[in-house]
Amino acid sequence: MNLRRRGIYLLPNLFTTGALFSGFYAIVQAMNGQFEHAAVAIFIAMILDGLDGRVARMTHTQSEFGAEYDSLSDMVSFGVAPSLVVYEWALKGMGKWGWFAAFIYCVATALRLARFNTNHEVIDKNYFQGLPSPAAAALVGGFVWVMLDSGFSGEQMRWYASALTVFAGLSMVSNLPFYSFKTINMRKSVPFLVIFLVALFFLLIFSYPPGVLFGLFLCYSLSGFVMWYLRRKQSA
């Protein structure tokens, strides 16, 4: 009996491979003590990860293989890489407490991805359940980047780094609602003011990337707590 040869779609998986390489590159740079390069690589992985799914949907090349490959890539780029980067930069000198904080983040990413893979079809598409792993990675990587840019060493910031790492990990496995931005229709016409504001937004990012990106993802990571409080207050 002839078995049909199954192939994979090249274009979306190229973006996924790029994200995986960026995560691997972040780990290598952290091992070499180039923590700023490592932090930037995490952000590049986040951008590529955001593109692969959109490219697959636009070109109608979604596949079960691509979904599984994307999840494994996310574990490396947004789980292992950020935890090792922050460990090498700040947590290494804290002994068991340092690797314990890094492991909490790492295992939280694995649990977050496993939960997403099993219930993404039944939850509200407007919101994520728990902080998304790319946003958590951007929060940790952004903290390392902005502290380095401000002249602080990992030893000076190790307690803050450990607290932020644990916070990011626990936020991922929480049931807090985080807006998904999936309902934004990119094909819909918008007022001219919106385009102007988007241009200003990118100008703001390029004016001071470390601080703006860290502030942006810090606000997003807190938005789930704010939304949970508002919902609880309305239901009371």
- The conformational region for residue 6 under phi > 0 = left, psi -120 to 50 = alpha, else beta, is beta
CB atoms within 10 A of CB 70: 22
| Residue 67 lies in domain | 10-235
> Is residue 227 in a domain?
yes
72-114 pLDDT per residue, tens: 999 999 999 999 999 999 999 899 999 999 999 999 999 999 9
pLDDT above 90 coverage of the chain, percent: 65
CB atoms within 10 A of CB 16: 25
What's the domain count of the chain? 1
> Is residue 89 in a domain?
yes
Rounded to an integer, the average pLDDT of 177-202 is 76
152-166 pLDDT per residue, tens: 999 999 999 999 999
CATH of the domain at 78: 1.20.120.1760
Stated pTM of the model: 0.90
What is the C-alpha separation between 37 and 59, in angstroms, rounded?
Answer: 32
Given a cut of 70, is residue 150 above it in pLDDT? yes
190-231 pLDDT per residue, tens: 677 777 888 888 888 888 999 999 999 999 999 999 999 988
What is the C-alpha separation between 60 and 186, in angstroms, rounded?
Answer: 17
**What distances in angstroms separate CA 89 from CA 70, 130, 193, one per listed residue?**
27, 26, 42
